[in-house]
Each structure stands twice: as structure tokens, then as C-alpha cells.
């Protein structure tokens, strides 16, 4: 039987001389109909370019196929070499034979057309449906991707929907023409982990329903374990290993595959937590947060009553010297707002934040998520590192330069980078620079707001190791904000789980991760993809986060807590 | 609509500020009004006659009392009497305005009709020879002064075609639409030339931005044709900067186009303001500037309403 898709020695280059700037350097694979191939790799590995070559969207990004063939079996049984077809024919395979969903649901839908219009367009282009027929079809496909209240959603614009909903709309659009092949380019990377689980479950169900093939591109080998039949691992434009999923995961042949499986954080339900810091009753907290409340006022028109977004509601915790407290939760849970309030970047509505006088005038410093956006591109490294010191009244003298060199050495950068500019560094190096910058003032506490989330997985692992080393050397306390349970497991001593502005569970890391008590913590942890749990199936769960907008004067009922072990407290849930 | 009401409430405040500025600045121009009105004959006046004239026009009073008197007239719909024409200022303005409005509208139609398609075309041919040609044309259009283009048009028409553009007269649109439009077509082209060049450049760069957006890739992945991608998916997203530019340019044109009006001898607002200033017709200057400022505010409001119509993110707030 001929495969649905057969790619042979594919080479793709960019720029004026594509042959000299190859990003994909000879990739071959087959995909049988009904099967799922996962392409796994880090940024720059050529995984997306390979997939975009299959429907030739790569041409619009400046790419050129310089060599090789891409044989696609069309629905009428004929075989087409996509690599050599012209645009007119290519247009008929896009949508009709090959559907695609993308990484960024927030920007992948056209903001000026309604969701309904965009789905109907897909039906019009590929099935020739018009008017009421197209509308009925759009409604039907929205139901199939489990969008509640589909009829009214048709009239919505993309900005009125959440990220998970938008990704469902994208999937609905791709399904409109019942494609034989669906290419999913990191479709869940931008989504929260519980939403990711929902989308993965949906894709698995749709695949079973329709029998379509799928190419699934991801950097997270744990994510595809449950859905892929074959895995192809890519590095520097080459497929370094390809085999069945079980063979790749259980018996990896190539060093890079082993590296992805072992060096990279994977979630293991509390087995990989640190064991280097025991809390003693005698030590005094360096930061003590008591009943922190942050609200953002909402104005509705001129005369209607005002309410407020209760972003953080009654959060209390303490942080000991040398300890890592991780705050985990999904977007909108209030974890970043909490961190920003501690630094005074957000105004607090109520509550106390006490810091023990430490060794620095600025005891709390912060590292941000995006290392590309948080370094001023016009300043060189010396100026970047000097900035916090100068802002605190120091002079740029030899003593300061000595400290810069010392810290650069500690974060693993050579001292001669002082005259270089941010664009000359990779993402991981930039984040190291940001870490060196916060250490300039010798802080006691470093707030790390998703500090490794934007990094490639293997870089992530190295930066985490660096953070642990620095913590020991400078006896730093970390407040580590993250949505990624696997990362948190590697660095946290204690974990606070936030949901809808409140801490629902807090305690020692191993205890929280291995024996979660609160229903939300359980849901969160069961949604984390893991290699070892790959045979377990996700159930579809469409629970939505409640609205945090409250009428003026609303106060939440007082929290009741129960002990779930030594240093493990859970908020008692109200019976419904 | 709440929003429109709020905006309308700010209008009187802005106009009040404009009126103070204009009132003061016209009086800061050197030379006195009576000399400017009478020219050399002013030398024949005795001081007593001069004082009598000043009292007649009310310009012997302190500036604040002149202003208050003018303002109270304004509230009764009275902009004062023009000293040049000896008629109410408002009626003089209304006589000139239709021509200016029609000229501005015609130039805008030309500018958008030529500029947007050219800009879109250039964006889809990014860095190809045809894009380069369009960009050079646009640069030329922006940098050539309008009097050069105006004179060139008259020269070419009269020397090569033996046609002389109608000058000095204006037939209102509702009297004879065809004659009216043909009278203004050459001045409109002159004005529209530079305007079209700006529109071309801004729509080209906005389209280039939009064409690299993720949702364009999505549209292509659905199998949409190039034409549908460009006109249906990209253009509506690229129109906002075009609307902004058109609003500003249109606002300027409503203030009159002095040079083009001179070249084609058209009785528009531009020449009216120029005459009023050179002859120190205080009432006329104040009235016209206030009228022009009001037009600008209305145009800006229309631009904001256009944003609302174009972008659902502005029309319907976020979640």
C-alpha cells in the first residue's frame, strides 16, 4: 500500500541563496493513512519548516525547496509531488487535503472577521457551500470541537474568546474540509496545561472519529507520547532518529534523543524534588506575606455600578532564607500579580508584605519571562549590569566592574562579553545576563517570573541547574512563578498552588506533587503530560475558570484550611 | 453613541481655546488695521478721523473687552461684519465653502482610488521591480510642490490639447453636476497627486506588516486565493493608518488650498483667509479660522467613528 505522504531527501533553504542557507538538510519520512507522526525538536531544528513544506506554506515565509520530493496521495487516489507543483494546484491541496493548525491561537484568527465567517469561508473554499448551508455546516463543526453554545459563538470576534476556544475554532476550520492530513504545529504550546490536556484529548477523539493522519510538531517529547504512532527527532535540520513511539521512548538510539528524554525536565509526580533544604522551626522568614489583596477597578459605562477584578484575594505565605517557594497556577490565577505586588510594581488593596532587613538596600529583585524583551537592545552588557547599581547611587568604577566579571563568571559567561550587545546572545545566554543583573545588588530574594518558560527545553535544564548552584552560593531565596509542573518539580522546596486569585494548596513540594488534595491541584497534575503515563488517556473536561470580576464591596468568605500532613495545608472546598 | 456625545461636549472647549489664540495672534501681526484697509490713503487721515474709524470698528477698546464683545456675538450666531466685503462674515464663508468642500472630496476620492490599489499592489510585489517603480513614483509625488504640478497641468492642457481649464468661476454641484466637476477636476488632480503618493506609501507599509501576520498564513492554509488573502483578509486590517492619514489630509484641505486656488483662480476658503489676513479684516480672520477648526474637529470625530467601524476590537470591548 502506498503511504499517504512520502517525503524523500527534503532540503529547504532561505534567503537569496537558498542552497547555501539550508535549514532542512535532507529529511525523509513516510506517513501511512490514519497514523500520527510526531516531529520533535528544539527551536532551529527545522521541524516547523519541514511541516510547512508539506503544504508549501514555507514559500510565503521566504523558504525554497531546493531538493527532494514530497509525494502526497490525494483524495481521488492520484499522487502529487508537492515539491514541484505550482501555486494554482497547491491551493487545491491546502485545506482540502492538508489542514493545518498553528501555535498561536491568539494571532492565527483574523481579528476583523467573525469566527462564523472564517469557518464558513473554509466550507465555501473547499466544499462549495454557501449561505445557510455553510452556516449549518459551521455550526455542526463547532459542536464537533465541543464549543458550548455554538450558535451564539458564530457571531463572536476572535478577541472575545479565550485561547483554548480560539484553538478549537482553528481546529474546526481545519476540519471543515475533512482533510486526510492534519498538520499541528505546536498547537498547545501557548495554552495552559489543563487547556492543553483538553485540546490533546479533542485531537485524539477527532482522529479516531475521522481516521485522518496527523503530523504533530512539538518540543515536548512527553506531550506526544500518548498520541503519536511514530516519532521523528530532529536536530540542526536533520532527522537524527525515527522509529515507533515505544521504540524511541523506551530504547532511544541517538544521544540527542537520550538527552531530550533525560536531561530535560519531565514531570514525575514528586519523585524528582530537591532534598537539600529542610525547614527548621527556628529560622525567621525573609519575606512574610499576610492576607495580600490586589484588585483592579472595572468601570462599566457612566452610571452603572463599578466592580473590581479580584486578581489576588487573601494570599498569605512566608519564604525562608535559602528556600524556593514555587507559585504554580494557570494564566489569570494571580501568580504574577502576587509577585509584582511583592516588588511594589502593583498597588496592593490590602495586606502586609514584611521583609526582614537583609544584606542589601534592595533585598528583592526580579527576573522576567522574556529574555529578548527585558534587555534594552541599545545598551551593552556593561551598561546593562551597571544600571541597577547606578540607580542605587553607586558609581561605575573598577570595583563595580570587578563584581560584573565575578558574576558573569558565576552565571557561566566569559568576562569579555562586557562590550557586547544583547542581540549577540542566544536566549539562554540572555537569561543568564538577566540573572547576573539581578545579583548585582546582592539581593536576599529573587523573584523569577516564568524565568525559564521562553527557553528551549535543554537550555531550560541548564538554567535551572545554574539557579540551584547560585542559590547555594549566595544563599538566595527564590519565589519561582511558573505554570510548568515539570520545571517546578526540579527547583521548588515548597509549592503554593493558586487558582482564581487564591492559594488553594500549599506545602512541601514532594507532598503536594505526590499526594495532591485539592480538586484543582489534582486536575492540574493529571493534565501534565508525562512519558511514563502515556498509556493513560485524557478525559475531555470543559471546566472554565470562574470570572474574577466582582461587584463593588464584595468580600470573599473567609478561607478554612485543613492540615494534610506536616507542612501541607489545603483549603477546604465548599460543597456545591 | 455615548462616546460621540462625550466627544461633542469637548468641542466648545477646544473652539474657545482656538478663538483666544486667533484673537490674540492676529493682533500681534505688525501694522494697524486702518492702514491695511485704506492703503496709501490712510496717510491722508487726521488723527481725529483715525480715532473715529477705530471706534467705529471697535478696535480702540482693550483687547479683552473686544474679545468679550466678539464672544457674546458668537453665542448669538453672529461672527461680526467683514470689513472687506461689508457683509456678515458667516455669509461670506458659506459662499466660499462649497467649492472648498467639493475640491477636498474630489482630491480624496482621487487619492484613495489611486493610492490604496497602488500601495496594495506594491506590497504584494515587495522588492520586485514593479514595487520599486511604485515607490519611486510615490516619492516623486510627495516631493513635487503642488504649484509645479498645477502649472504643468495647465501647460500640457493648453499647449498640447488646446484646452484651457475653466478659471475663476465655480458652478455649484447641485446646479450643474457635470460642469461643476469638470471645473474642479484639474485642481483636484493637482491636490490629489501628493495626497495619493502619501496614501500609496502608507498603505504599502501597512499591507506589508499585515501580510506577515499569522492569520494570513491561516487563510492560505485554508486554500484561499491570493486575491482573497489580499483584499478580504489583509486589507481591512491595514486600513486604519490609511484612515488616519486621510483624516489629517482632508482636514487640511478643508482649510483651503491657497496655492492651488491661486493657480487656478478659484474662489475658495484658502484665498479668503489670505485676503483677510493681508487686509487685517479681523472679524473675517477670526470667523474663518474658527470655522476651519470646527471642520477639523468634525473630521477627527468621523475618523474615530471609522476606526470603530473597521475594527471590532474597538467596537466590542474585550471579554
All cell numbers assigned to A31: 506517513
Q: What is the pLDDT of residues A308-334, one digit of tens each?
A: 888 898 899 999 988 999 999 888 788
Residues of chain B with pLDDT under 70: 1-2, 31, 37, 39-40, 42, 166, 168, 316-319
DSSP letter assigned to residue A300: -
Are A515 and A564 in a shared domain? yes
Query: Radius of gyration over alpha carbons of chain B, in Å?
Result: 24
- Res. A529 pLDDT band, cuts 50 70 90: confident
SS3 B251: helix
| Rounded CA separation A408/A484 (Å) | 27
A545 falls within a domain: no
Question: What are A508's strand-pairing partners?
Answer: A494
Q: Residues of A with CB below 8 A from B319's CB?
A: 159-162
Among candidates A61, A95, A159 on the partner chain, residue whose Cβ is nearest the Cβ of B221: A95
User: Are A60 and B220 an interchain contact pair (Cβ–Cβ within 8 Å)?
Assistant: yes
With cut-offs at 50, 70 and 90, classify the pLDDT of residue A72. very high
Contact A15, A66 (CB under 8 A): no
pLDDT above 80 for A229: yes
pLDDT-above-90 percentage for chain A: 40
A83 and A47 both lie in a single domain:
yes
Question: What pLDDT digit, counting tens, does each position of A398-436 carry?
Answer: 999 999 999 999 998 988 888 999 988 888 899 999 999
Question: Does residue A293 form part of some domain?
Answer: yes
Q: What are the E-state strand segments in A357-512?
A: 364-367, 445-449, 477-482, 494-499, 502-508
Nearest-CA distance A144 → chain B (Å): 19
| Chain B residues with CB-CB distance to A57 below 8 A | 217, 220-221
Q: Say whether both A36 and A141 belong to one domain.
A: yes
Does the pLDDT of residue A542 top 70, yes or no?
Answer: no
Q: Does B227 touch chain A (CB under 8 A)?
A: no
Which three three-digit cell numbers place residue A554? 464584595
pLDDT above 70: percentage of residues in chain A: 94
What is the side-by-side order of every strand in the sheet holding A350-355? Answer: A350-355, A287-298, A307-319, A549-551
Quick: pLDDT tens for A159-193: 888 888 888 899 999 888 789 999 999 888 878 88
Query: Domain boundary at A443, A466, A486, which?
Result: A443
Q: Do A102 and B319 touch (CB under 8 A)?
A: no
Q: Are residues A468 and A502 in the same domain?
A: yes
Pairing, β A79-81 against β A63-73? antiparallel
Residue A549 is assigned to a structural domain of this protein: no
> Quick one: which of B15, B19, B45 has its CA closest to B32?
B45
Q: What is the pLDDT of residues A94-144, one digit of tens each?
A: 988 999 999 888 889 999 999 999 999 999 988 888 889 999 999 988 888
Strand partners, A312: A294
Looking at residue A236, its pLDDT comes to: 92
Cα of B257 vs its chain's centroid, Å: 7
The secondary structure element, H or E, covering residue A352 is strand A350-355
Residue A56 shares a structural domain with residue A145: yes
Residue B65: the pLDDT is 84
- Residue A226: phi and psi, rounded to 5, are -85, -15
The beta strand positions in A32-180, using DSSP E, are 36-40, 63-73, 79-81, 98-101
User: Under 8 Å CB-to-CB from A405, ≥6 apart: which residues?
Assistant: A415, A418
pLDDT the model gives residue A541: 58
Hey, is the C-beta of B78 within 8 angstroms of any chain A C-beta?
Answer: no
Q: How far is A223 from chain B (nearest CA, A)?
A: 24
Give the span between the Cα atoms of B116 and A547, in whole angstroms. Answer: 43
Long-range contacts of B14-19 (CB under 8 A, 24+ apart): B14/B293, B14/B297, B15/B290, B15/B293, B15/B294, B15/B297, B18/B289, B18/B290, B18/B293, B19/B71, B19/B74, B19/B286, B19/B290
- b (16+ CB within 10 A) / e for A202-225: bbbbbbeeeebbbbbbbbbbbbbb
Q: Provide the angle, in degrees to the nearest 10, between the axes of the packed helices B235-254 and B177-211.
A: 140
What phi, psi does B280 have (nearest 5°)? 50, 45
In this structure, the answer to whether residues A234 and A173 fall within a common structural domain is yes
**Residue A364 within a domain:** no
The answer on A377 and A300 residing in a single domain is no
Q: Are B221 and A99 inside 8 Å of each other by CB?
A: yes
Per-residue model confidence (pLDDT) at position A17: 84
Mean pLDDT of chain A: 87
Q: Return the residue matching grid coordinates 488553594.
A: A504
Q: Where a domain ends, among A383, A413, A443?
A: A443
Q: Which helix (H) or strand (E) holds B142?
A: helix B129-143
- What is the pLDDT at residue A204? 87
- Asked, for residue A114, whether it belongs to a domain, the answer is yes
The helix (H) or strand (E) run that includes residue B5 is helix B2-28
Contact state of B220 with A173 under an 8 Å Cβ cutoff: no
Best mutation target among B211, B220, B223 (most A Cβ atoms within 10 Å) is: B223
Q: Assess if residue A510 is contained within a domain.
A: yes
What is the predicted ipTM? 0.79
Contact check, Cβ <8 Å, A102/B217: yes
Residue A453's domain spans which residues? 270-356+445-539+557-576
What is the per-residue pLDDT across A248-273, written as a single tens digit (0 to 9) for each?
988 999 999 998 888 777 888 878 88
User: Coil, strand, or helix at residue A140?
Assistant: helix
Partner residues linked to A503 by β-bridges: A498
Gap from B291 CA to chain A (nearest CA, Å): 31
A238: CATH: 3.40.50.300
- Which residue spans within A208-329 are E strands per DSSP? 213-218, 230-235, 238-244, 287-298, 307-319, 324-328
What pLDDT does B319 receive? 38
Are A251 and A288 in the same domain?
A: no
Q: Domains in chain B, please, with CATH?
A: 96-269 (1.10.3720.10)
Number of structural domains chain A divides into = 3
Domain ends where: A409, A443, A477? Answer: A443
Cell numbers 516519532: residue: A231
Both A35 and A125 in one domain: the answer is: yes
Q: Is residue A322 part of a domain?
A: yes
- Range of lowest pLDDT (A78-92, A189-203, A421-435): A189-203
Helix H or strand E encompassing A551:
strand A549-551
Using a CB–CB cutoff of 8 Å, tell me whether A218 touches chain B: no
Q: Which three cell numbers stand for residue A434?
A: 538577566
Which residues of chain B make contact with A129, given a CB cutoff of 8 A? Answer: none
Q: Are residues A210 and A74 in the same domain?
A: yes
| Terminal Cα distance for chain B, rounded | 20
Domain membership flag for residue A317? yes
B225 contact A CB<8A: yes
Instruction: Clarify whether residues A104 and A144 are in a common domain.
Output: yes
DSSP per residue over A429-442, as a string? HHHHHHHHHHHTT-
Residues A89 and A204 in one domain: yes
Greatest CA span in chain A, whole angstroms? Answer: 76
Amino acid at each position: 500500500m502506498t503511504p499517504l505522504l512520502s517525503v524523500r531527501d527534503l532540503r529547504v533553504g532561505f534567503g537569496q541563496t537558498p542552497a547555501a542557507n539550508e535549514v532542512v538538510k535532507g529529511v525523509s519520512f513516510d506517513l501511512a493513512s490514519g497514523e500520527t507522526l510526531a516531529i520533535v525538536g528544539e527551536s532551529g531544528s527545522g521541524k516547523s519548516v519541514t511541516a510547512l513544506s508539506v503544504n508549501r506554506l514555507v514559500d510565503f515565509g521566504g523558504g525554497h525547496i531546493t531538493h527532494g520530493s514530497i509525494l502526497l496521495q490525494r483524495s481521488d487516489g492520484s499522487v502529487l509531488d508537492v515539491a514541484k507543483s505550482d501555486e494554482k494546484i497547491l491551493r487545491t491541496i491546502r485545506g482540502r487535503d492538508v489542514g493545518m493548525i498553528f501555535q498561536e491561537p491568539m494571532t492565527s484568527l483574523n481579528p476583523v472577521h467573525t469566527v462564523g465567517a472564517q469557518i464558513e469561508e473554509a466550507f465555501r473554499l473547499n466544499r462549495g457551500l454557501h449561505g445557510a448551508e455553510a452556516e449549518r455546516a459551521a455550526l455542526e463543526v463547532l459542536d464537533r470541537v465541543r464549543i458550548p453554545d455554538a450558535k451564539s459563538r458564530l457571531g463572536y470576534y476572535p478577541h472575545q474568546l479565550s485561547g483554548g476556544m480560539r484553538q478549537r475554532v482553528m481546529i474546526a476550520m481545519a476540519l471543515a474540509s475533512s482533510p486526510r492530513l492534519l498538520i499541528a504545529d505546536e498547537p498547545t504550546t501557548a495554552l495552559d496545561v489543563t487547556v492543553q490536556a483538553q485540546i490533546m484529548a479533542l485531537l485524539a477523539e477527532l482522529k479516531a472519529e475521522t481516521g485522518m493522519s496527523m503530523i504533530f510538531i512539538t518540543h515536548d517529547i512527553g506531550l506526544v507520547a500518548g498520541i503519536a504512532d511514530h516519532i521523528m527527532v530532529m536536530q540542526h535540520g536533520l532527522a537524527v532518529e525515527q522509529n515507533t513511539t515505544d521504540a524511541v521512548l523506551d530504547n532511544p538510539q541517538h544521544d540527542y534523543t537520550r538527552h531530550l528524554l533525560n536531561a530535560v525536565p519531565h514531570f514525575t509526580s514528586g519523585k524528582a524534588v530537591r532534598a537539600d533544604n529542610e525547614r527548621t522551626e527556628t529560622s525567621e522568614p525573609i519575606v512574610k506575606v499576610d492576607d495580600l489583596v490586589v484588585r483592579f477597578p472595572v468601570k462599566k459605562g457612566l452610571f452603572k455600578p463599578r466592580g473590581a477584578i479580584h486578581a489576588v484575594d487573601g494570599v498569605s505565605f512566608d519564604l525562608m532564607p535559602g528556600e524556593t517557594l514555587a507559585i504554580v497556577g494557570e494564566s489569570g490565577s494571580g501568580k504574577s500579580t502576587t509577585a509584582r505586588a511583592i516588588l511594589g510594581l502593583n498597588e496592593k488593596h490590602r495586606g502586609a508584605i514584611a521583609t526582614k532587613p537583609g544584606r542589601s538596600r534592595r533585598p528583592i529583585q526580579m527576573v522576567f519571562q522574556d529574555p529578548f524583551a527585558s534587555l534594552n537592545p541599545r545598551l551593552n552588557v556593561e551598561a546593562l549590569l551597571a544600571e541597577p547599581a547606578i540607580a542605587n547611587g553607586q558609581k561605575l568604577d573598577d570595583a563595580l566592574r570587578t563584581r560584573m566579571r565575578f558574576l558573569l563568571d558565576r552565571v557561566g559567561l566569559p568576562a569579555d562579553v562586557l562590550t557586547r550587545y544583547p542581540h549577540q546572545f542566544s536566549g539562554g545566554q540572555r537569561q543568564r545576563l538577566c540573572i547576573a543583573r539581578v545579583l548585582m545588588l546582592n539581593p536576599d530574594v529573587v523573584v523569577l517570573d516564568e524565568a525559564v518558560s521562553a527557553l528551549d527545553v535543554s537550555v531550560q535544564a541548564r538554567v535551572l541547574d545554574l539557579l540551584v548552584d547560585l542559590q547555594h552560593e549566595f544563599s538566595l531565596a527564590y519565589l519561582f512563578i511558573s505554570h510548568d509542573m515539570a520545571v517546578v518539580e526540579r527547583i521548588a522546596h515548597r509549592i503554593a498552588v493558586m487558582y482564581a486569585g487564591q492559594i488553594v494548596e500549599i506545602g512541601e513540594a514532594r507532598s503536594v506533587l505526590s499526594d495532591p488534595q485539592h480538586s484543582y491541584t489534582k486536575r492540574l497534575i493529571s493534565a501534565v503530560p508525562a512519558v511514563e503515563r502515556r498509556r493513560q488517556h485524557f478525559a475531555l473536561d470543559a471546566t472554565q475558570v470562574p470570572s474574577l470580576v466582582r461587584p463593588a464591596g464584595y468580600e470573599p468568605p473567609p478561607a478554612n484550611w485543613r492540615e494534610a500532613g506536616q507542612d501541607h495545608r489545603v483549603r477546604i472546598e465548599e460543597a456545591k | 453613541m455615548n462616546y460621540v456625545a462625550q466627544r461633542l461636549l469637548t468641542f466648545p472647549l477646544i473652539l474657545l481655546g482656538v478663538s483666544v489664540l486667533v484673537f490674540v495672534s492676529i493682533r500681534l501681526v505688525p501694522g494697524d488695521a486702518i492702514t491695511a484697509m485704506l492703503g496709501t490713503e490712510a496717510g491722508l487721515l487726521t488723527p481725529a478721523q483715525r480715532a473715529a474709524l477705530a471706534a467705529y470698528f471697535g478696535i480702540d477698546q482693550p483687547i479683552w473687552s473686544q474679545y468679550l464683545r466678539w464672544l457674546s456675538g458668537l453665542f448669538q450666531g453672529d461672527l461680526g461684519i467683514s470689513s472687506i466685503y461689508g457683509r456678515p462674515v458667516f455669509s461670506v464663508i458659506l459662499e466660499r465653502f462649497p467649492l472648498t468642500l467639493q475640491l477636498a472630496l474630489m482630491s480624496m476620492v482621487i487619492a484613495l482610488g489611486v493610492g490604496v490599489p497602488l500601495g496594495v499592489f506594491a506590497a504584494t510585489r515587495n522588492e520586485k521591480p514593479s514595487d520599486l517603480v511604485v515607490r519611486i513614483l510615490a516619492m516623486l509625488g510627495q516631493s513635487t510642490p503642488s504649484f509645479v504640478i498645477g502649472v504643468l497641468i495647465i501647460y500640457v492642457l493648453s499647449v498640447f490639447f488646446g484646452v484651457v481649464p475653466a478659471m475663476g468661476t465655480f458652478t455649484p454641484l447641485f446646479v450643474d453636476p457635470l460642469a461643476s466637476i469638470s471645473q474642479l477636476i484639474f485642481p483636484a488632480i493637482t491636490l490629489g497627486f501628493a495626497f495619493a503618493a502619501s496614501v500609496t506609501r502608507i498603505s504599502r507599509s501597512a499591507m506589508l506588516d499585515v501580510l506577515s501576520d499569522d492569520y494570513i498564513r491561516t487563510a492560505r492554509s485554508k486554500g484561499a486565493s491570493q486575491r482573497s488573502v489580499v483584499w478580504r483578509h489583509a486589507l481591512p486590517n491595514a486600513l486604519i493608518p490609511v484612515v488616519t492619514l486621510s483624516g489629517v489630509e482632508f482636514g487640511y484641505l478643508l482649510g483651503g488650498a491657497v496655492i492651488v486656488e491661486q493657480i487656478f483662480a478659484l474662489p475658495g476658503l484658502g484665498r479668503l483667509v489670505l485676503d483677510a489676513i493681508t487686509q487685517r479684516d479681523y472679524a473675517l480672520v477670526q470667523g474663518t479660522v474658527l470655522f476651519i477648526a470646527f471642520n477639523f474637529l468634525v473630521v477627527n470625530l468621523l475618523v474615530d467613528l471609522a476606526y470603530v467601524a473597521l475594527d471590532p476590537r474597538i467596537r466590542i470591548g474585550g471579554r
